[in-house]
Amino acid sequence: MAKKRREKSEEETPDFKLPKFDEEKFLKKERRNVKTLFISFILGLIVSLISFGFWALLSGSEIRWYLILLFGLFCAPWLRYLFTYLNIDLTEFGRKGWFGTFATYFFTWLIVLVILVNPPFYDEESPRIELAILPGMQEPGGTVNIAAYILDNVGIDEDKIEFELVYPNGNVTTPEFTFENNIFEYAYNNPENISGQYSFSLVAIDVNGHKSQINSSFEYSEDALKIISSIFQEIRSGDVITIKADEKISNENFRVYYTINNETQINVDREEKEDKERYETSAEFQGWEENSDIVINLYAEAYHYFVNVNENFTNIVKDTNKYNFTTGSDSNIGSEPALELKDLSYNLPVHRGLPSTPGFEIITFIVSLIAAILILKWGKKKKK
């Protein structure tokens, strides 16, 4: 009985038949897709040219990018009217079709606009000047190094760089400088040991005539660096030696150190981490000896790294005074190793890479996500 049922079931099972391929319908659909893609591209191109005109007219506006973005999005719905006007059959166009259409329009508009608003098609940016004064306050007899990293998206006109120095007495000079690999450098030696505040201006002009100017100053003073301890005779390992370093030495953190009898070099830590002016040391560090006469020379090192330039620009401040100490009997004198830079409580300047531009990483993520979705959909369609 069971055998008869199986035979009957097998006889009643219909044969599977492939659906008939409608070539005409397929070609019609593909022609429509090509037309919509082409129209989306052309509209994106036209809107990007109009947006570029608005970009130039709105020069200087803080909300320019937002207005241009809104304009680009506002023009997107015109695609539907264009398709209707051109009698394009949107039957079974679906969400996938509209998504591809708007994506083609938007990214065409965005890419072309970005190309147009940058050199060589357009330039409105003035040169960017990053300045370092090393040091900002120097002791008599020392030099002041002025360095600047000058960048521009089309190039700097080296012949139009202007540098003017004004002395404390009001005299003005235009000294010679060097400019190589976008680095401006000038060293002032102060041959006449004139104390007081010096001011200067640096002007950079790009090849399209856009101008940037930066003004600043530096100072010569005998108070840039000094030891202000009250105990110099018969000191012990626990006696604190206090050093005052003027914060004008550098806008960034700088290193303070001293030498013992022109030999051993000892780094000095801050009294408080956030106070750039007060530093403390003692005779407990190696190099000090008990029952000895000690001569101290005091220094500060200011240095700077420009963004994405792997070169350390540095200069030294040397206190014009020498300090004479005598040590008493104390077995702890000279018992501790000198501080290394990593042991200091404050962070010194380091090499800096290119800064990230807020927002662009989000755009990159969105574009990557859309591309991944399209690739997956295409892969699934190909398997089918």
Q: What is the pLDDT of residues 69-80, one digit of tens each?
A: 899 999 998 988
Using the predicted structure, report yes or no on whether residue 290 has a pLDDT greater than 50. yes
Residue 359: band (very low, low, confident or very high) from pLDDT cuts 50, 70, 90 = very low
**Poorest-confidence range of 23-37, 129-143, 168-182?**
23-37
pTM of the model: 0.70
User: What's the mean pLDDT in 99-118?
Assistant: 89
- CATH 2.60.40, domain 225-343, yes or no: yes
Rounded Cα–Cα distance for residues 119 and 69 (Å): 20
Of the chain, the percentage scoring pLDDT greater than 90 comes to 54
Q: Per residue in 226-242, pLDDT tens?
A: 999 888 999 999 999 99
User: What's the mean pLDDT in 117-121?
Assistant: 77
User: What's the mean pLDDT in 6-27?
Assistant: 60
Under 8 Å between Cβ of 328 and 293 = no
CATH number of 128-220: 2.60.40.1220
Q: Which residues pair with 185 in a beta bridge?
A: 147, 178
For all residues of the chain together, what is the average pLDDT? 85
**Poorest-confidence range of 10-19, 321-330, 374-383?**
374-383
Q: What is the dihedral of CA 150, 156, 157, 160, to 10 degrees?
A: -30
What local confidence, expressed as pLDDT, does residue 361 receive?
A: 47
Top pLDDT among 353 and 285 is at: 285
Using the predicted structure, report yes or no on whether residue 324 has a pLDDT greater than 80. yes
Domain parsing of the chain, residue ranges = 23-122, 128-220, 225-343
Tell me what percent of the chain is helix, strand and coil, each rounded to the nearest 5. 30, 30, 40
**How many residues are present in the chain?**
384
Using the predicted structure, report yes or no on whether residue 246 has a pLDDT greater than 60. yes
Task: Render the burial of 126-162: b for 16+ CB within 10 Å, e for the rest.
Answer: bbebebbbbbbbbbeebebbbbbbbbbeeebeeeebe
What local confidence, expressed as pLDDT, does residue 333 receive?
A: 95
What local confidence, expressed as pLDDT, does residue 360 receive?
A: 43
